[in-house]
Amino acid sequence: MPQFTDGATDVLHVGIQDSNHTIENSHVVQFVMRIAMLCWRHLRSIEWLAPKGRAAAFALFVISLTAISAPHHNATADDAAPAYQPGWVEVWAGADAASHTWLVFSGVTVSPFSNVYENGLRLRVSGGYGGYVYTGERRSELHTFTARTSYAEALAGYLMRLGPVTAKAFAGVTAIEHDIAPYDPDNPVQGQEIGPKVVAELWINMGASAWGQVDASWTSAHNTSGARVRTGYRVWKDTSIGIEGALHANDMGEDLRGGLFTRFAWNGGEFSIAGGYSGRFLEEAKELKDPYATATLLLQF
């Protein structure tokens, strides 16, 4: 079965057909609400996040999940069960949180001239909103800074399948904003910047059960870059477990992550959840003690 590489990058859809049954609308709604409530409980536990910020983040995440879980077709008893047909749109939404940072995000990739698994043009838009805190010594005094961050991007690219390898390349423009309070004179990552962005994504099938994924991106906006590597093994049907590592950087510094993930895929979608530890690269590479968790839901229709 072809695999997704957008999770990021990378969702449930009512009426997705697997080999035996159709996922019902009520089940999708229940699943979406459970995820939303888990995210809400985590946001409530973050003491530095103001009540208005918690509510805004929760609302944004629920709106994204509700939109992608809206029914595309209501099956009836008179409908014949059609063979699975790959779609031409992928939509995803997710959340990422650690003790000092959080982010909710969503996006869509469109394949205007082919289905999502075939070679061809790809158009992508995505965005996210989040926050973080950090401390630093300024004029011999220790200060705590609170930041809000958001981004939006529009990209065009191409997908090519080369045997066991699926490769995607994108280029476009992105806008990234960091609002920090109080103003930090020693932080170069403040305000809004707009710049070009390039993205490369690889999916590699390594035999019948093992697979690997490599994603990398860079933009001139705050000199922001990122890379993630995953390798997984299908332990039952299309349910995989594996390890991941990621490096995120901008003009302020680098953040390193390492952890485990579980990925469940079906005809038309996937859900993955990951967790591990992170820390400042080089400065604290031996002290990856800040736990993180990420959940992503992706739909193809």
pLDDT computed for residue 243 by the predictor = 98
At residue 281, the pLDDT reads 57
Nearest to 288 by CA among 250, 252, 245, 251: 245
Residue-wise pLDDT tens digits, 94-115 = 999 998 899 999 999 999 999 9
Q: What is the mean pLDDT of the chain?
A: 80
Q: Kind of pairing, strands 120-138 and 101-110?
A: antiparallel
The rounded percent of the chain whose pLDDT value lies above 90 is 58
* CB within 8 Å of 179: residues ≥ 6 apart: 147, 148, 149, 190, 191
Position 127 pLDDT exceeds 50? yes
Quickly state the pLDDT bin for 23 (edges 50, 70, 90). very low
Residue 287 pLDDT class (50, 70, 90 cuts): low
172/255: higher pLDDT: 172
DSSP strands (E only) in the chain: 89-98, 101-110, 120-138, 141-162, 165-181, 191-206, 210-219, 224-236, 239-250, 253-266, 269-280, 290-300
Mean pLDDT of 65-69: 48
Q: What tens digit of pLDDT does each residue of 146-204 get?
A: 999 999 999 999 999 999 999 999 999 999 999 999 998 888 999 999 999 999 999 99
- Are 106 and 90 spatial neighbours (Cβ–Cβ below 8 Å)? no
CA distances 265 to 2, 59, 167, Å, are: 10, 26, 19
β-sheet bridge partners, residue 236: 239
Q: What is this structure's pTM?
A: 0.72
Q: Could you read off the pLDDT of 216-249 as tens digits, one per residue? A: 999 999 999 999 999 999 999 999 999 999 999 9
